[in-house]
Copies of this chain bind each other. A is one copy, B any other.
Amino acid sequence: MKTEDNGKVNFSYHTKVVRNPKLERLQYNYLFPEISARELQHIRKYPNARVISLGIGDTTEPLPDVVASSMANYAHNLSTPAGYRGYGAEQGSKELRKAIAETFYKRMGIKDEEVFVSDGAQCDISRLQLLFGSNMSIAVQDPIFPVILALSHAYIDSSVIIGQTGDVDTISGRYQNIKYMKCGPQNGFFPNLSDTERTDIIFFCSPNNPTGHAATREQLEQLVQFAQDNGSIIVYDSAYAVYITDGRPRSIYEIPGAKKVAIEISSFSKIAGFTGVRLGWTVVPEELLYLNGFPVINDFNRIVCTCFNGASRIAQAGGLASLSSQGFKGVLSLVDHYKQNAEILLQTFESLGLKAYGGINAPYLWVHFPGSNSWDLFNEILEKTHIITVPGSGFGPAGKEFIRVTAFGHRENIIEASKRLTALLS
């Protein structure tokens, strides 16, 4: 394909089909491609360097034996007459729905039938957008740096695709018709709800990526009250909830009344190392109703049955094993590994006199370098320590003094990174 600069190609024939104008509005974000390009350049320059990535957050540690074995056994059994299985339920197996409800929503009154198993949170966000359609008004957290949300969880991009937004403002990089709720250190990473406009949908991610902030109980009580007062629906992303260990809520349903106003999406990716296995879930309570009294769960069930055909049954077997008592012990020790990584990094930055947010209830650190330019920082760190980070300005102008660092990695790499950063920055 001979691509010209404008992305068009030199073929003589074209159809008469008009490109979807919603897709024309989508902005391309060059942050991660740019990081990859600089990494490649660096490797060419220093072919023998041991490059350590604290960039993209991806799990690195092997699965617990019992989880891998359960998937291996399930797969093996598919070659036997007794073990072969065809289509499963679109909503996931009864056993797994029950295990999710019992493990994550005990005493919150979430029923098995309100849990929909998926192939991951990102995919379910897109199915939720199909559910909502193009006429919804939406709000997203603005953890100083709005675009990260589009990168990490596609809230914004999927909203653009479904048609909820207007055009992008070329100066701010923000879309019309999306309300950005500022969440920074100045307000405890929680929006000032008294001056927040009502929207139909409020996307809220806790623990947050990239700031690493886990909302407190009081904050979530405010959020649920705000949604009830406005008749809004909260889409609560709890993909990192298992990293919370200081008593803050791990689910929005810990807040009384949340079932009337909230959908919760979550994932086995960062809990159980399933980034490549693909498994997640979404909870839609029966109590959540549209203005006309129609249950949202009925429509979501229809979307799941029409636009999805169930998560791989092998992945579901792994999910079930990871929630068994032995499996969950293994899973928690994986989480503990990454949390210790985060602690090492946090101590490193603090001992260097730098302020780092997150890292306690989340596998991300958001590190402040007052007066710096984050791309310069990225370059200097890469050049002098062979460590990949993520420059904050890639997430918007307000991120220009920050870098994001992931705690996902092998321990020896984290320790080595800590040494190199200490040598550079002390």
Chain A positions within 8 Å of B, measured between CB atoms, are 1, 7-9, 11, 13-23, 26, 56, 58-65, 67-69, 71-73, 75-81, 83-88, 119-120, 122-123, 126, 130-136, 154, 157-158, 161-163, 200-201, 227-228, 230-233, 260-261, 273, 275-278, 286-295, 298-299, 302-303, 306-315, 318
Contacts and interface: CB of A to CB of B under 8 A. Distances in A.
Q: How many copies does the complex hold?
A: 2
A71 B63 contact: no
A13 B278 CA distance: 35
Nearest to A314: B314
Nearest to A293: B8
B15 A289 contact: yes
8 smallest CB-CB distances across A and B, nearest first, come from: A16-B231, A68-B79, A126-B307, A20-B133, A71-B75, A14-B289, A58-B86, A19-B290
Nearest to A201: B17
Given A16-B232, A20-B135, A79-B64, A302 B126 contact: no
A390 to B, nearest CB: 15
A276 B126 contact: no
Contacts of A286: 1, 9
Contacts of A201: 17
* Main SS class of interface, A: loop
B260 A13 contact: yes
13 contacts: A13-B260, A14-B289, A15-B289, A17-B290, A21-B133, A23-B302, A63-B78, A68-B77, A122-B306, A122-B307, A130-B162, A276-B313, A312-B312
A83 to B, nearest CB: 7
A209 to B, nearest CB: 15
A387 B366 CA distance: 63
Contact of A126 (B20, B22, B308): B308
Nearest to A318: B75
B314 A75 contact: yes
